[in-house]
Structure 1
Amino acid sequence: MGGKYRITGDKYPRMRPPRRRGRLVVVVVACGAVLGVGGWGTLQLIDVFTGGGGTASTAGSKAGCTTKAAKASPAAAALPAPAQITVNVFNATTRGGLAKTTADELKKRGFKIGQVGNASNEYDKKVPGAGVLLGPAASLNTSLPVLATQLTTAERRTDAARTGPAIDLIIGNAFTALTARPEATRALTALTAPRPAATATTKEHC
């Protein structure tokens, strides 16, 4: 070329396109986001199949389940104390004096004593067992179980026609003595002790 400017030497300048650094940065960021989402999804799957890591907000409805509190069983009805129970003691055997000695022992154990004597014709010499505890229908789950702790081998009966709260102890032919006092006391304590209410639990319904 002529003119004022001349190109000298044997190397010529090469034209290269500019480096596209912006595109590279976008690709790197996109790859990182994909890897992050994939890792999070994997952790969620592991949590579902292993049952761990549930938060408080989702624990009640995990895997589509709902929770309900189990109802506690009602407390047992209060039983009367021996001092609140009147006992009539009748002897249905041929052995004399059993009604009085038995009534005296029951009185020492805290029971109130009503009538004491021989059994009526309905029961006289007709009770083969240790005895019969007889009371009104309302005494079946109240005073009868309390008195039964003093003669555990006695038969329990109720009579709907009876009036009044008193109950009868009818001594039978197999009677030898009341249940030993320590054993009767343990049985009475276990019977009248308050029962703890059942602990409420939760059940899942899916």
Structure 2
Amino acid sequence: MGGQYKITGNKFPRMRRPRRHGRLVFLAVASVTVLGVIGWGTLQLIDAFTGGSQKAEAAGTRCARHADSASARPVRALPKPGQITVNVLNATPRGGLAKQTADELKKRGFRIGDVGNATGEFDKKVKGAGLLLGPASALDTSMPVLATQLSGAARRADARKGAAVDLIIGDGFKQLAAQQAADKALAALNAPRPAPTAAGKGC
């Protein structure tokens, strides 16, 4: 070889490759990471096939018990029109409304009690379509059924004895609800309602 540097003699300098410590460290760290991921994944699979299924099964059991208790919960049956006695009283100056309304309610299956003018406490003092007045026990039994026949009627309880309900006709009264609309409202009133799900949250 020419130039400034010349190799003489029969011995040549040994060329050593640079040490690759960095690559070895990287491979070691990568191996440890892969092994850790594989181990974590294995634990997750074991939990999924053992503990996870047990949790799901336990949750399903709780939901089933809640559904059974909800279906077994007693539901108060509303009375039928034939079980409700209605006193029809006219609080307006228009004549004949009490008898006309009572006749129509009788056709729809209700039992009719007293028919006539309202007492001085209510005469010409009911501004709406009507007022349903009866014992406290009728507020969520007889009154909702009777209210399907006259939308917009107010409801009030008094201290009377007996189960009869007064339908006091007010100044805003025009006529009873149409037969078809009243039947539809009555059917909706008696339709079963879904049980509350607060206790079964997560089911």
**Normalized against structure 1, the TM-score is what?**
0.67
- CA distance in structure 1 between the aligned counterparts of 2:49 and 2:98, rounded to whole angstroms: 72
Aligned counterparts, 1:76-87, within 5 A: 76-87=75-86
Cα distance, 1:125–1:39 mapped onto 2, change above 3 Å: closer
Residue number in structure 2 paired with 1:144: 143
Residue in structure 2 matched with residue 16 of structure 1 by the alignment: none
Q: Pairwise mapping of residues 179-198 of structure 1 onto structure 2 (< 5 A)?
A: 179-197=177-195
SS at match of 1:183: helix
1:32-181 aligned within 5 A: 41-47=39-45, 52-54=48-50, 58-59=54-55, 68-69=62-63, 70=66, 72=70, 74-159=73-158, 161-181=159-179
Give the whole-Å Cα distance in 1 for the aligned partners of 2:54 and 2:154. Answer: 57
TM value normalised by structure 2: 0.68
How much has 1:192 moved relative to structure 2?
Answer: 1.3
Deviation at 1:101, TM superposition (A): 0.4
> Residue deviations 1:70-109, cap 9 Å, x none?
4537343110000000000000000000000000000111
- More helix by proportion, 1 or 2? 2
Larger radius of gyration: 1
User: How much identity, in percent, do the aligned residues show?
Assistant: 58
CA distance in 2, matches of 1:201, 1:54: 24
In structure 1, the gaps of 5 or more residues are 1-37
Higher relative contact order (Cα pairs below 8 Å, separated by 6+ residues): 1
Does the residue aligned with 2:70 lie in a helix, a strand or coil? coil
Aligned-residue CA RMSD in angstroms? 3.3
Cα offset for 1:115?
0.5
Show structure 2 runs of 5+ residues with no match: 1-35
Aligned mates of 1:42, 1:136 — CA distance in 2: 69
Count of paired positions: 163
Runs of 4+ in 1 over 2 A off after TM superposition: 38-48, 51-62, 67-76, 193-204
- Aligned residues of 1:127 and 1:173 also touching (Cα < 8 A): yes
